[in-house]
């Protein structure tokens, strides 16, 4: 098991208030946390005969292996699967015997403001075929500037707010962050989406109340990853509660494929015992990981609202979370 530090920052550059002159281009840090493994897992989850392994997940590079079961792959309907991948695998299978082990290797590297993805087919440990590299410009942070908020200079959460703002994860208007304002469900969904900037938005929208909403793409993408749920309405303008935030964060960590099965889901909070089991477990996980503290040693205040500054502190803490994958 390799230690993965979910950190968007490098060194002490972001540990102080932002200056007018950044030491390095911001995009060198902005694309660290791309959600690439989550995207690939979702892409190949239904690939016939696939077993997914992630041997490498580093700051600017990841390798995902998709081990293919020959019989299941040949017998399956391949409609809708990545055409190049199917062609490469089929080409190799056509010249191999039934005992041959076939693996799809997807390597992603980020250099400067460019992401490159290479796909290769490996037969019994030997690379047999490679597809053309896919090169993607990382446009999301091309115009990121140093944020200048006039209302948080003495706020205790200012360092976290600055770090997230410099990466485009939190935004504001007219140099005001409004740290004490309640954060809405739509705003938090957008913040989570901005931590995986290489993800193309999903288009299928199950919610009738976000058709023209500014955060529609963010919400729908988080819905596709099971981070947010709902039947026909999302209620984007409602202030998110502490319990709802805990649940969304727990689902978010699960979306990334992070194995937290060994972390207890218990807490000392007496005011959560009547909540739905998913809420109780999510709150317990937040407590055990130190992401969201209680309002007292025995209370969590699950229905209480979170401010923009509090949520920035929470998300900043998640991105620093030391975990094993």
Is the per-residue pLDDT at 28 higher than 60?
no
Give the range of the structural domain holding residue 48, as residue numbers without chain letter. Answer: 36-137
In a domain, 144, yes or no: no
* Residue 263, in any domain of the structure: yes
Q: Computed from CA positions of residues 179, 184, 187, 192, in that sequence, does the dihedral angle turn out positive or negative?
A: positive
In a domain, 24, yes or no: no
Handedness of CA 295, 296, 300, 304 (dihedral sign): negative
In the chain, how many domains are there? 2
The count of residues in the chain is 325
pTM: 0.66
Q: pLDDT tier at 27 (50, 70, 90 boundaries)?
A: very low
- Reading the block at residue 26, the tokens are 């911001």
Instruction: Determine, yes or no, domain membership for 19.
Output: no
Residues 186 and 50 in one domain: no
Regarding whether 297 and 177 lie in a shared domain, the answer is: yes
195 and 102 fall within a common domain: no
Residue 205: inside a domain, yes or no?
yes
pLDDT for the residue numbered 72: 84
Task: Name the DSSP class of 20.
Answer: S
Q: Who wins on pLDDT, 108 or 15?
A: 108
State the CATH number of the domain containing residue 65.
Answer: 3.10.129
Q: Same domain for 171 and 131? A: no
Q: What is d(CA 61, CA 53) in angstroms, rounded to the nearest whole number?
A: 15
Please write the tens of the pLDDT for every residue from 167-210: 778 877 778 899 999 999 999 999 988 877 666 778 789 999 99
243 and 170: one domain? Answer: yes
145 lies in some domain:
no
Residue 117, domain member (yes or no): yes
Same domain, 127 and 233: no
Predicted confidence (pLDDT) per residue in 84-126, tens digit: 778 877 877 777 777 888 888 989 887 766 778 898 888 888 8
Residue 39's pLDDT band (cuts 50, 70, 90): low
- Asked whether residue 11 is assigned to any structural domain, the reply reads no
- Same structural domain, 240 and 96: no
Q: Could you tell me if 121 and 82 lie in one domain?
A: yes
Pair 111, 235 in one domain = no
């Amino acid at each position: 098991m390799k230690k993965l530090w979910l950190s968007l920052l490098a060194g002490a550059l972001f540990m102080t208030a932002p200056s007018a002159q950044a030491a390095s281009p911001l995009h060198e840090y902005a694309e660290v946390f791309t959600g690439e493994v989550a995207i690939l897992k979702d892409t190949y989850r239904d690939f016939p005969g696939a077993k997914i392994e992630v041997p490498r997940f580093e700051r600017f590079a990841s390798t995902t292996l998709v081990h293919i079961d020959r019989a299941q792959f040949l017998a399956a309907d391949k409609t809708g699967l990545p055409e190049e991948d199917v062609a490469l695998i089929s080409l190799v299978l056509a010249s191999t015997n039934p005992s041959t082990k076939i693996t799809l290797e997807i390597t992603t590297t980020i250099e400067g403001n460019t992401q490159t993805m290479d796909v290769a087919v490996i037969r019994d440990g030997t690379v047999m075929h490679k597809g053309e590299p896919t090169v993607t410009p990382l446009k999301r942070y091309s115009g990121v500037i140093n944020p200048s908020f006039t209302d948080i200079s003495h706020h205790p959460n200012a360092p976290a707010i600055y770090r997230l703002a410099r990466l485009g994860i939190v935004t504001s208007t007219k140099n005001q962050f409004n740290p004490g304002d309640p954060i809405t469900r739509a705003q938090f969904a957008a913040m989570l989406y901005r931590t995986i900037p290489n993800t193309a938005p999903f288009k299928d929208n199950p919610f009738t109340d976000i058709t023209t909403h500014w955060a529609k793409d963010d919400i729908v993408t988080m819905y596709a990853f099971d981070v947010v749920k709902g039947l026909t309405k999302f209620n984007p303008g409602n202030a998110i509660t502490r319990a709802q935030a805990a649940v969304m964060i727990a689902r978010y960590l699960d979306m990334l494929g992070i194995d937290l099965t060994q972390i207890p889901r218990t807490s000392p909070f007496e005011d959560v015992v009547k909540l739905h089991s998913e809420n109780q477990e999510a709150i317990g996980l937040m407590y055990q990981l130190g992401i969201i503290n209680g309002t007292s040693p025995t209370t969590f205040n699950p229905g209480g609202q979170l401010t923009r500054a509090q949520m920035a502190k929470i998300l900043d803490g998640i991105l620093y979370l030391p975990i094993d994958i």
